[in-house]
A and B are shown apart, each in its own frame.
Chain A
């Protein structure tokens, strides 16, 4: 069976822009995310590790539902043929549709199972400075919700991934970088027989 050639990066970028989406004021989204994080920091009494976890969980919930929206808006009802293509699609189409940014895909491992997303821009972090309490810059991953979104969304298309940030300009690093690893492809499982 002939395989479709993998989609070129420029094609991917174009699809992302074509996505028909309803728009809202960017600052409404940014401020809403900010107040969510601030509330979590209060609720968990400054336990930033727990805040990261909760953000990841919220992202996961979003990812589970967002994938359908992605498939509808991206007009690409076709499986990615490999993990590299997945990475390009999520960076150039996914992030473009939902956040109007295209993080750079880079730093692949030789087995093609791990890559980095470098965020030149991060709308969620506009207006943000982390608390100057001597801990937040070492413990809080402000945009951790992204990790959960990727994990949830890819799980729905049979990919188990792990994602975490390794640097953030909000922490004083020069780049904002997320590491994404493919754990495994989830096999289609037959539903249990009801005897």
Chain B
């Protein structure tokens, strides 16, 4: 026991980080303190717009830009998975073990936490040749609220950032997937949801293989 403590002390000494003497460190801060905290939507909009305009520098294609936004969302998804599960009551704290539970977790928990409401829909691809594709639908993505896409970039959907977050959650749960955001709202007058976005989740072959194997058992 004393050995263990000594070695722990050793590790602490190796860390080169300085900490304030008044204990204002992330280790002293309760992890749930900001669970329900709110901040101005404008602050988010300003940050997100700077993120998008920074990402749109030196890009070669729209896909490039979407990829960059995706990459920035990815680490958030990885961390949210842990954070949100930690905050669940003990009985529902287990990681999702199959595709449907995982997608439900994203549709309900992740969406509720980030955007204040569950996603509007969850569908399986109706194309029998694509059993690995699922769709999460958001009629009006919060991140796009103040984004107007220029005409010459009409394929762009900045919710690629959110796609990255979803991808992070999937990867972190050991369900590797590619997630992309697609605008499906019609740009006609009177259209109820012009910003309707589909997040296409395409799972890796090994996920499908495992799923079918487990399904049989």
A residues apposed to B, CB below 8 Å = 21-36, 38-39, 54, 58, 61-62, 65-66, 69, 97-100, 123, 126-130, 132-134, 137, 169, 171-174
Contact = CB atoms under 8 A, between A and B. Distances in A.
Contacts of A27: 34-35, 37, 113-114
A29 B39 contact: yes
Contacts of A97: 40, 42
Nearest to A66: B46
Contacts of A65: 46
Nearest to B71: A39
Contacts of A130: 17
B148 interface: no
A30 B34 contact: yes
A127 B26 contact: yes
Contacts of A137: 16-18
A61 B116 contact: no
Given A24-B41, A134-B16, A35 B75 contact: yes
Given A30-B34, A32-B47, A172 B39 contact: no
A100 B47 CA distance: 16
A191 B51 CA distance: 33
Nearest to A123: B39
A126 B34 contact: yes
12 contacts: A23-B40, A23-B41, A24-B41, A25-B114, A28-B114, A30-B34, A32-B47, A35-B73, A66-B46, A137-B17, A137-B18, A174-B20
Given A31-B76, A132-B16, A100 B46 contact: no
A98 B42 contact: yes
A173 B16 CA distance: 14
A30 B59 CA distance: 26
B47 A33 contact: yes
Lowest 9 A-B CB distances belong to which pairs? A172-B18, A26-B37, A22-B41, A23-B38, A26-B39, A58-B50, A62-B46, A24-B41, A29-B39
Contacts of A127: 26
B24 A123 contact: no
Given A39-B72, A128-B26, A100 B40 contact: yes
B183 to A, nearest CB: 21
A98 B19 contact: no
B38 A25 contact: yes
B34 A171 contact: no
Interface string B34-78: 110111111110111011011000000000000000011101100
A36 B50 CA distance: 9
B44 A32 contact: yes
Contact of B44 (A24, A58, A126, A132): A24
Contact of A28 (B15, B26, B44, B46): B44
Interface string B149-192: 00000000000000000000000000000000000000000000
Contacts of B17: 129-130, 132, 137, 172
A60 to B, nearest CB: 10
Nearest to B17: A132
